[in-house]
Amino acid sequence: MLRTILVGSFLLSLVGPLAPQEAPPSTIKKDGMQVQVNVMNVCNPSDDEQKGIAAALQRLPLKPRFAPDFEVARGRTTFPDAPISTWARIRREFQPDFPFASVQYSVSLDEKALIETLVFRVRDAKDLLSVTLEDRMSTVTAPAAALATDTPASRVKIERFGRNSLGLARCEQADQAAYQPLFDTASKVLAQYRSLLGARATIPAELARAAAGTKPPPPRRSMAVRKHDR
C-alpha cells in the first residue's frame, strides 16, 4: 500500500539532536520536587555504554524482510529567525514476525546543513525501544550529489526500555579512536539502507517538490480586451 503524504510543517522531535555533553547526572529541585537529570556523555561513553551501543548496532538487520506497506512523505519546517528546512522521508514496515516493526529514513535540508537520519523501531520493546543513526553535511550541495556518496554516520542514539538512553557522537578535539568500530558499524548500516530504501532516487525528487512548494506562484497575466469601434 502506497501512501504519499504532503505535510506543511514537520518537527523532527522524535529524533532530537545529540549535543555533546560531559556533565554527570545531577539532581535539581523544581516546585518543591527533586528531579533526577541524566545527561548522556556522547563524546566519551563508558565501557558499559560502549558494550550497550555495540549490542544494539549488531541487532540491526542488514537483510530485512519488508512488508508491502510503506510511506513516502515530504514537507517543510519553519522556525522564527531560522532558515526554512525542507524534508523528505521514506518509511518501510517489516514483516509481522520480524523483531523490528519499522525503519524510517529522512533527510532535512536548509541553507546550512543536510542531515540524514535513520530510525529503527522495535516491535516488542522489552529492553530496546529504538536505534537512531545520523550524519550531517555542513557543506550543502545538491541532494542528489550529497546522497551519491556514503557519508559515514556521526551520531548514534539508543533508546532503551526502563533504562537510560545511550549515545555516541563525533566530537572535535576528542580522542575517539576507541569508538571507531562503532562508527564503522553504524556507517555500514546507514549505507545499506540508502540502497534498500531507494533513497538516492526518491529523496532528491521529493526534496525538489517540497522546495517548489515554498515558492510563491507566478503572477497571473491580465488579458485586456480591446473594443473596436464600428
- Report in angstroms the alpha-carbon separations of 200 from 68, 151, 165, 168: 20, 12, 31, 26
Q: For the chain, give the mean pLDDT.
A: 83
- Check whether 224 has a pLDDT greater than 60: no
- Check whether 30 has a pLDDT greater than 70: no
Q: Are 101 and 33 a contacting pair, CB within 8 Å?
A: no
One-letter-per-residue 3-state SS of 51-68: HHHHHHHHCCCCCCCEEE
DSSP label at 221? P
Residue 140 domain flag: yes
Residues making up the chain, counted from first to last: 230
The predicted model gives 136-147 an average pLDDT of 85
Structural domains counted in the chain: 1
The per-residue pLDDT for 73 is 96
CA distance 179 to 210: 37
Residue 120 domain flag: yes
Residue 221 domain flag: no
Say which residue the cell 522546495 belongs to.
Answer: 211
Instruction: Tell me the DSSP string of 18-62.
Output: -----PPPEEEEETTEEEEE-----SS--HHHHHHHHHHHHTS-S
The per-residue pLDDT for 186 is 98
The per-residue pLDDT for 80 is 85
DSSP strand pairing (100-109 vs 85-94): antiparallel
The predicted model gives 123-151 an average pLDDT of 90
CA distance 91 to 210: 17
Q: How many other C-beta atoms are found inside a 10 Å radius of the C-beta of residue 226?
A: 4
- Check whether 122 has a pLDDT greater than 50: yes
The per-residue pLDDT for 67 is 96
Residue 69 domain flag: yes
pTM of the model: 0.78
C-alpha cell at 143: 541532494
CA distance 25 to 40: 8
Say which residue the cell 575517539 belongs to.
Answer: 176
Identity of the residue numbered 44: N
Residue 59 domain flag: yes
Per residue in 48-78, pLDDT tens? 999 999 999 999 999 999 999 999 999 999 8
Residue 181 domain flag: yes
Judged by average pLDDT, the poorest of 135-149, 168-182, 215-229 is 215-229
Give the residue with greater pLDDT, 138 vs 154: 154
Residue 220 domain flag: no
Domain range holding 54? 2-212
- Check whether 100 has a pLDDT greater than 70: yes
The per-residue pLDDT for 217 is 57
- Check whether 28 has a pLDDT greater than 90: no
- Check whether 13 has a pLDDT greater than 90: no
- Check whether 10 has a pLDDT greater than 50: no
Residue 226 domain flag: no
